[in-house]
Structure 1
Amino acid sequence: MTRVDFYVLEDTADQARERFACRLVEKAWRLKHKIYLHAASAQEAQRVDQLLWTFRDGSFVPHALESGALDDTLAAATPVRIGSGAEPGFDADLLVNLDREVPLFFSRFERVAEIVAGEDDKAAARERFRFYRDRGYTLEYHQIGVPRT
Protein backbone atom coordinates (compact mmCIF):
# COMPACT_ATOMS: atom_id res chain seq x y z
CA MET A 1 0.00 0.00 0.00
CA THR A 2 1.17 3.52 -0.77
CA ARG A 3 2.92 5.43 2.03
CA VAL A 4 2.24 9.17 2.19
CA ASP A 5 4.73 11.63 3.71
CA PHE A 6 3.68 15.18 4.55
CA TYR A 7 6.60 17.63 4.65
CA VAL A 8 5.49 20.80 6.44
CA LEU A 9 7.93 23.62 5.79
CA GLU A 10 8.66 26.48 8.15
CA ASP A 11 10.11 28.31 5.16
CA THR A 12 7.46 30.47 3.52
CA ALA A 13 9.72 32.29 1.05
CA ASP A 14 8.87 32.45 -2.64
CA GLN A 15 9.24 29.03 -4.24
CA ALA A 16 9.84 27.28 -0.88
CA ARG A 17 7.70 24.30 -1.92
CA GLU A 18 9.39 24.03 -5.31
CA ARG A 19 12.90 24.36 -3.84
CA PHE A 20 12.18 21.69 -1.24
CA ALA A 21 10.74 19.48 -3.97
CA CYS A 22 14.01 19.85 -5.89
CA ARG A 23 16.04 18.85 -2.83
CA LEU A 24 13.76 15.86 -2.20
CA VAL A 25 13.90 14.77 -5.84
CA GLU A 26 17.69 15.05 -5.86
CA LYS A 27 17.98 12.90 -2.73
CA ALA A 28 15.56 10.27 -4.10
CA TRP A 29 17.37 10.19 -7.46
CA ARG A 30 20.72 9.65 -5.71
CA LEU A 31 19.06 6.69 -3.95
CA LYS A 32 18.21 5.29 -7.43
CA HIS A 33 14.48 5.98 -7.33
CA LYS A 34 12.36 6.93 -10.32
CA ILE A 35 10.34 10.04 -9.58
CA TYR A 36 7.31 11.78 -11.00
CA LEU A 37 6.91 15.38 -9.91
CA HIS A 38 3.26 16.40 -10.32
CA ALA A 39 2.68 20.14 -10.73
CA ALA A 40 -0.60 22.03 -10.49
CA SER A 41 -0.26 23.42 -14.02
CA ALA A 42 1.88 23.24 -17.14
CA GLN A 43 3.38 26.61 -16.18
CA GLU A 44 4.39 25.33 -12.75
CA ALA A 45 5.86 22.20 -14.35
CA GLN A 46 8.02 24.40 -16.59
CA ARG A 47 9.15 26.52 -13.60
CA VAL A 48 10.15 23.38 -11.67
CA ASP A 49 11.90 22.05 -14.78
CA GLN A 50 14.04 25.21 -14.88
CA LEU A 51 14.55 25.23 -11.10
CA LEU A 52 15.94 21.68 -11.12
CA TRP A 53 18.87 23.04 -13.18
CA THR A 54 19.59 25.96 -10.83
CA PHE A 55 18.28 25.29 -7.30
CA ARG A 56 21.73 24.49 -5.90
CA ASP A 57 25.23 25.12 -7.20
CA GLY A 58 26.79 21.93 -8.48
CA SER A 59 23.57 19.92 -8.49
CA PHE A 60 22.57 17.74 -11.39
CA VAL A 61 19.30 15.85 -11.59
CA PRO A 62 18.52 14.20 -14.96
CA HIS A 63 14.94 15.14 -15.71
CA ALA A 64 12.48 15.99 -18.45
CA LEU A 65 9.01 17.34 -18.86
CA GLU A 66 6.53 14.52 -19.34
CA SER A 67 5.42 14.70 -22.93
CA GLY A 68 4.98 12.56 -25.98
CA ALA A 69 8.01 14.30 -27.49
CA LEU A 70 10.55 12.14 -25.64
CA ASP A 71 12.00 9.41 -27.82
CA ASP A 72 12.11 5.91 -26.31
CA THR A 73 15.88 5.93 -25.66
CA LEU A 74 15.83 9.28 -23.88
CA ALA A 75 12.67 8.40 -21.98
CA ALA A 76 14.20 5.16 -20.68
CA ALA A 77 17.29 7.04 -19.46
CA THR A 78 15.39 9.82 -17.65
CA PRO A 79 14.61 8.90 -14.02
CA VAL A 80 12.79 12.12 -13.14
CA ARG A 81 9.76 13.40 -15.02
CA ILE A 82 7.72 16.52 -14.41
CA GLY A 83 4.13 16.94 -15.51
CA SER A 84 0.64 18.12 -14.68
CA GLY A 85 -2.89 16.98 -15.26
CA ALA A 86 -2.81 13.54 -16.86
CA GLU A 87 -1.39 10.34 -15.42
CA PRO A 88 2.30 9.91 -16.23
CA GLY A 89 3.21 7.52 -19.01
CA PHE A 90 6.06 5.80 -17.19
CA ASP A 91 6.62 3.76 -14.05
CA ALA A 92 8.04 5.54 -11.02
CA ASP A 93 8.10 4.65 -7.35
CA LEU A 94 7.86 8.17 -5.88
CA LEU A 95 5.23 10.82 -6.59
CA VAL A 96 6.11 14.34 -5.43
CA ASN A 97 2.82 16.22 -5.43
CA LEU A 98 2.89 20.01 -5.81
CA ASP A 99 -0.80 20.18 -6.69
CA ARG A 100 -3.29 21.19 -3.98
CA GLU A 101 -5.48 18.23 -4.99
CA VAL A 102 -4.78 14.51 -4.60
CA PRO A 103 -3.92 13.16 -8.08
CA LEU A 104 -6.34 10.38 -9.06
CA PHE A 105 -3.40 8.10 -9.92
CA PHE A 106 -1.50 8.47 -6.60
CA SER A 107 -2.04 4.84 -5.53
CA ARG A 108 0.15 3.43 -8.30
CA PHE A 109 3.23 4.80 -6.49
CA GLU A 110 4.99 3.19 -3.53
CA ARG A 111 5.39 6.60 -1.90
CA VAL A 112 3.79 10.01 -2.17
CA ALA A 113 5.43 13.20 -0.91
CA GLU A 114 3.05 16.05 -0.09
CA ILE A 115 4.81 19.39 0.46
CA VAL A 116 3.13 22.07 2.55
CA ALA A 117 4.37 25.67 2.95
CA GLY A 118 2.57 28.63 4.44
CA GLU A 119 -0.83 29.18 5.97
CA ASP A 120 -2.64 29.32 2.62
CA ASP A 121 -1.43 25.84 1.80
CA LYS A 122 -2.31 24.26 5.15
CA ALA A 123 -6.09 24.13 4.62
CA ALA A 124 -5.72 22.24 1.33
CA ALA A 125 -3.09 19.98 2.93
CA ARG A 126 -5.47 19.13 5.77
CA GLU A 127 -8.05 18.03 3.19
CA ARG A 128 -5.47 15.83 1.45
CA PHE A 129 -4.39 14.39 4.82
CA ARG A 130 -8.03 13.48 5.66
CA PHE A 131 -8.48 11.97 2.20
CA TYR A 132 -5.53 9.61 2.65
CA ARG A 133 -6.28 8.85 6.32
CA ASP A 134 -9.94 8.04 5.66
CA ARG A 135 -8.84 5.48 3.07
CA GLY A 136 -6.38 3.78 5.41
CA TYR A 137 -3.08 4.92 3.91
CA THR A 138 0.05 5.02 6.06
CA LEU A 139 0.82 8.66 6.85
CA GLU A 140 4.04 10.23 8.09
CA TYR A 141 4.53 13.85 9.17
CA HIS A 142 7.83 15.74 8.92
CA GLN A 143 8.38 19.28 10.21
CA ILE A 144 11.12 20.89 8.08
CA GLY A 145 13.01 23.95 9.37
CA VAL A 146 14.20 26.91 7.35
CA PRO A 147 17.29 25.93 5.33
CA ARG A 148 20.58 27.65 6.11
CA THR A 149 21.90 29.98 3.45
Structure 2
Amino acid sequence: MRIEFYVLSSANPADRLRAACQLAAKGWRHGLPVMLRCANVAQRDELDQLLWRFRAESFIPHDLHEDDAEAPVVLALDEAPAIQQGLLINLNPSISPHIECFSRVIEIVNQEPDLLAACRENFRAYRQRGYDPKRVEL
Protein backbone atom coordinates (compact mmCIF):
# COMPACT_ATOMS: atom_id res chain seq x y z
CA MET A 1 0.00 0.00 0.00
CA ARG A 2 1.20 3.49 -0.85
CA ILE A 3 0.69 6.14 1.85
CA GLU A 4 1.48 9.79 1.22
CA PHE A 5 1.15 12.92 3.30
CA TYR A 6 0.52 15.91 1.03
CA VAL A 7 1.69 18.99 2.93
CA LEU A 8 0.17 22.41 2.21
CA SER A 9 2.00 25.60 3.17
CA SER A 10 -1.17 27.38 4.38
CA ALA A 11 -3.38 26.88 7.44
CA ASN A 12 -6.57 27.66 5.48
CA PRO A 13 -9.09 24.76 5.69
CA ALA A 14 -10.52 25.78 2.28
CA ASP A 15 -7.13 25.11 0.64
CA ARG A 16 -7.21 21.60 2.08
CA LEU A 17 -10.66 20.93 0.59
CA ARG A 18 -9.57 22.31 -2.81
CA ALA A 19 -6.53 20.01 -2.73
CA ALA A 20 -8.85 17.07 -1.92
CA CYS A 21 -10.99 17.93 -4.96
CA GLN A 22 -7.91 18.13 -7.22
CA LEU A 23 -6.58 14.80 -5.96
CA ALA A 24 -10.01 13.14 -6.25
CA ALA A 25 -10.35 14.36 -9.85
CA LYS A 26 -6.87 13.09 -10.69
CA GLY A 27 -7.53 9.68 -9.10
CA TRP A 28 -10.88 9.35 -10.89
CA ARG A 29 -9.33 10.33 -14.26
CA HIS A 30 -6.74 7.57 -13.70
CA GLY A 31 -9.55 5.03 -13.23
CA LEU A 32 -9.28 4.59 -9.46
CA PRO A 33 -12.34 4.38 -7.24
CA VAL A 34 -11.95 7.32 -4.85
CA MET A 35 -13.22 7.70 -1.30
CA LEU A 36 -13.03 11.05 0.47
CA ARG A 37 -13.18 10.34 4.22
CA CYS A 38 -14.46 13.46 5.95
CA ALA A 39 -14.05 14.47 9.58
CA ASN A 40 -17.76 15.21 10.07
CA VAL A 41 -21.07 15.78 8.26
CA ALA A 42 -20.47 19.54 7.92
CA GLN A 43 -17.15 18.96 6.15
CA ARG A 44 -18.71 16.25 3.97
CA ASP A 45 -21.53 18.59 2.92
CA GLU A 46 -19.09 21.41 2.20
CA LEU A 47 -16.94 19.10 0.08
CA ASP A 48 -20.04 17.83 -1.75
CA GLN A 49 -20.92 21.41 -2.71
CA LEU A 50 -17.33 22.20 -3.69
CA LEU A 51 -17.16 19.15 -5.99
CA TRP A 52 -20.25 20.38 -7.87
CA ARG A 53 -18.62 23.70 -8.72
CA PHE A 54 -14.93 22.82 -8.50
CA ARG A 55 -14.17 23.07 -12.23
CA ALA A 56 -16.68 24.54 -14.64
CA GLU A 57 -15.20 22.61 -17.59
CA SER A 58 -15.25 19.17 -15.98
CA PHE A 59 -17.71 17.43 -13.69
CA ILE A 60 -16.37 15.09 -11.01
CA PRO A 61 -18.97 12.30 -10.60
CA HIS A 62 -19.52 11.87 -6.89
CA ASP A 63 -22.13 10.92 -4.31
CA LEU A 64 -22.57 10.40 -0.60
CA HIS A 65 -21.79 6.87 0.63
CA GLU A 66 -25.38 6.31 1.78
CA ASP A 67 -26.78 7.38 -1.61
CA ASP A 68 -24.38 5.48 -3.90
CA ALA A 69 -21.46 3.64 -2.30
CA GLU A 70 -20.19 2.66 -5.77
CA ALA A 71 -20.02 6.16 -7.26
CA PRO A 72 -16.67 7.01 -8.91
CA VAL A 73 -15.96 9.44 -6.03
CA VAL A 74 -17.63 8.64 -2.71
CA LEU A 75 -17.96 11.06 0.21
CA ALA A 76 -17.92 9.13 3.48
CA LEU A 77 -17.35 9.38 7.20
CA ASP A 78 -16.24 6.02 8.64
CA GLU A 79 -18.01 3.66 6.24
CA ALA A 80 -16.12 0.83 4.58
CA PRO A 81 -15.59 1.21 0.83
CA ALA A 82 -17.94 -0.73 -1.46
CA ILE A 83 -15.13 -1.11 -4.01
CA GLN A 84 -11.77 -2.40 -2.77
CA GLN A 85 -8.24 -1.30 -3.72
CA GLY A 86 -9.04 2.30 -4.55
CA LEU A 87 -7.72 5.63 -3.33
CA LEU A 88 -8.57 6.94 0.13
CA ILE A 89 -8.19 10.69 0.62
CA ASN A 90 -8.32 11.06 4.38
CA LEU A 91 -9.50 14.41 5.74
CA ASN A 92 -10.33 12.94 9.14
CA PRO A 93 -7.67 13.58 11.81
CA SER A 94 -7.59 9.84 12.64
CA ILE A 95 -6.48 6.86 10.57
CA SER A 96 -9.32 5.07 8.79
CA PRO A 97 -10.40 1.77 10.36
CA HIS A 98 -10.56 0.43 6.77
CA ILE A 99 -7.07 1.31 5.42
CA GLU A 100 -6.40 -2.30 4.42
CA CYS A 101 -9.23 -1.97 1.85
CA PHE A 102 -7.28 0.62 -0.19
CA SER A 103 -4.24 0.41 -2.44
CA ARG A 104 -3.35 4.05 -1.81
CA VAL A 105 -3.95 6.50 1.05
CA ILE A 106 -3.43 10.26 0.89
CA GLU A 107 -3.49 12.38 4.03
CA ILE A 108 -3.77 16.12 3.36
CA VAL A 109 -1.90 18.18 5.94
CA ASN A 110 -2.08 21.93 6.40
CA GLN A 111 -0.43 24.18 8.94
CA GLU A 112 -3.28 24.26 11.50
CA PRO A 113 -1.51 23.32 14.75
CA ASP A 114 -4.08 20.71 15.89
CA LEU A 115 -4.22 19.04 12.49
CA LEU A 116 -0.45 19.13 12.15
CA ALA A 117 -0.09 17.34 15.49
CA ALA A 118 -2.72 14.72 14.53
CA CYS A 119 -1.03 14.09 11.17
CA ARG A 120 2.37 13.68 12.80
CA GLU A 121 0.80 11.11 15.11
CA ASN A 122 -0.76 9.32 12.10
CA PHE A 123 2.61 9.30 10.30
CA ARG A 124 4.18 7.55 13.31
CA ALA A 125 1.23 5.16 13.61
CA TYR A 126 1.50 4.12 9.95
CA ARG A 127 5.22 3.42 10.49
CA GLN A 128 4.43 1.37 13.62
CA ARG A 129 2.02 -0.70 11.51
CA GLY A 130 4.83 -1.47 9.06
CA TYR A 131 3.97 1.01 6.30
CA ASP A 132 6.44 3.45 4.77
CA PRO A 133 4.58 6.78 4.47
CA LYS A 134 6.07 9.47 2.23
CA ARG A 135 5.90 13.24 2.54
CA VAL A 136 4.94 15.29 -0.55
CA GLU A 137 5.13 19.11 -0.55
CA LEU A 138 2.30 20.83 -2.41
Call closer, same or farther: CA 1:128–1:14 in 2, change over 3 Å: closer
1:117 and 2:116 are equivalent in the alignment: no
Give me the TM-score of the superposition, normalised by structure 2: 0.91
Give me the TM-score of the superposition, normalised by structure 1: 0.85
- Map of 1:126-145 to 2, 5 A cutoff? 126-144=120-138
Structure 2 distance, partners of 1:99, 1:88, is 15
Instruction: Compute the displacement of 1:90 (Å).
Output: 3.4
- Map of 1:39-58 to 2, 5 A cutoff? 39-58=38-57
Instruction: Compute the displacement of 1:55 (Å).
Output: 2.1
Is contact 2:62-2:74 (8 Å) kept? yes
Q: Which residue of 2 aligns with 1:147?
A: none
Is contact 1:101-1:128 (8 Å) kept? yes
Q: 1:93 aligns with which of 86, 92, 110?
A: 86
SS at match of 2:82: coil
> Which segments of 5 or more consecutive residues in structure 2 lack a partner in the other structure?
none
Q: Post-superposition, which runs of at least 4 consecutive aligned residues in structure 1 deviate over 6 A?
A: none
Counterpart amino acid of residue 108 in structure 1: C
Instruction: Compute the displacement of 1:110 (Å).
Output: 0.3
Counting matched residue pairs gives 137
Instruction: Compute the displacement of 1:63 (Å).
Output: 0.5
Is contact 2:85-2:104 (8 Å) kept? no
Structure 1 distance, partners of 2:65, 2:81, is 7
Q: Which residue of 2 aligns with 1:26?
A: 25
Instruction: Compute the displacement of 1:58 (Å).
Output: 1.7
Structure 1 distance, partners of 2:12, 2:43, is 16
SS at match of 1:20: helix
Structure 1 distance, partners of 2:45, 2:30, is 24
Counterpart amino acid of residue 28 in structure 1: G
Counterpart amino acid of residue 125 in structure 1: C
Is contact 1:53-1:59 (8 Å) kept? no
Call closer, same or farther: CA 1:38–1:96 in 2, change over 3 Å: same
Is contact 1:35-1:92 (8 Å) kept? no
Instruction: Compute the displacement of 1:14 (Å).
Output: 4.0
Instruction: Compute the displacement of 1:97 (Å).
Output: 0.3
Counterpart amino acid of residue 130 in structure 1: R
Greater Rg, structure 1 or structure 2?
1
Q: Which has the higher contact order (CA 8 A, sep 6+)?
A: 1
Counterpart amino acid of residue 15 in structure 2: A
Q: CA RMSD in A?
A: 1.5
